[in-house]
Structure 1
Amino acid sequence: MGVIKFGILFFFCFLLEPTCDASNPIPSVHDNQVCELCDKYLTLAIDYLQNEDNQNAFVEALHMTCSQIPPLQKQADRYTQRFFTQVSLLKPHHICKSLNLCQPPLHSQGNCDACHDTVSQLLPKLKDPQTKLKIIRLLLKECKSLNNYQDKCKKMVFEYGPLMLADLENFLEKKDVCSILGVCPTHSFYVLPAALADS
């Protein structure tokens, strides 16, 4: 009977897994320990359910219970086979991550701050027309190395260079590049200082 309870509990957890909201991780001081324990115990549970003797005991207990309601006996065989097939496909770490028990490693706050400082210093320079001109000149200089495509390259730089610089400036103002690059955690919000956003 304990096998049935364990199987039902495990199956219930498996069904709940997709409904978890990954955007709201469970905060924990010991995230790594929780993740490791989740992996360990799910691996044990999956191994237990994949053991042939345990599967036979599970099926036997299910048959005894379902024999009292004959239409359920055939369904029990079909669903039991599906259940064990699904169990064999389970990946413990994936389930633990889906349940928000495994958090990505915390990024160094110093690196995150340095990234935001760099973006803050880069934006005013990118807004400066002299800087834009220098970038266009550098791109044109690099076009010379393309031999046969030099003219096409220069045409593209003149046509798209200013647009790309404007898009880059807009992107840096509106997006948290440091989170996108993985330097900062994705849940941190960075607001561009008003002085930079208005300049």
Structure 2
Amino acid sequence: MIPRVGLLCLFVMGITWGFADARSLVISDFSTMQISQKFNIEVAEHETVVKNDRVCALCEQFTSQAIAYLGENTTQTQIIDKLHHTCSELSYYKKECSRLVDYYAPLFFLEIATIQPETFCEKMNLCDETLFTPPDSCDVCHKVTAEILAKLEDPETQLEIIKNLLKLCNVVENYEKKCKALIFEYGPLILAKTQKFLENKELCNIIHACKGSNGGGETESSLFEVPLLSDT
């Protein structure tokens, strides 16, 4: 079986299309956690503010690292090259696939660049005075990843993503039917591959939110690799 680069552009652009709404799906439940009663109330309240500041700073640092990683020219070039390689491996729709990559990949990176870490963390309720135990950057990353994974495993969320992808095909003149055919063929595979990638917790290692071992999961490029139906 020869692994091939999946049509990730269709997936990420569908999510980017409704990015503002998607971010609201990942709101953390950290605010329900309580500070230990080891100290008296006055001391605990003071420490809570300090600890919350640490969590907020960690969230902003983690988000900034993720944005910086996707903002690097080398990273963007590698992603686009992998997507173009996939298009060249397709039996049909090679030109249409390449056009989708060329059109939507820059838009995706521009959308990522507009994210403000401070605003993002506030929307996740990680930068207020709510009481919770401050995890380190690795814990924050894994918590957020788990929230995203839980949403991706929801059939309703999967259906919504596919619907958004199909809407994108309406703007591709003369290739609407072919675009939809690509989504129906590769959409479920890419969703499954994304879930597997998040389950292996490779994302937190790639953006250096977690130090130490890279774990036994797949390499970062594996996110972009899905087998063609003919290989399975």
Q: Which has the higher helix share?
A: 1
TM-score bin, normalised by smaller chain:
0.3 to 0.5
**When the two structures are superposed, what TM-score results if normalisation uses the length of structure 1?**
0.41
Higher relative contact order (CA 8 A, sep 6+): 2
- Report the structure number with the largest CA radius of gyration: 1
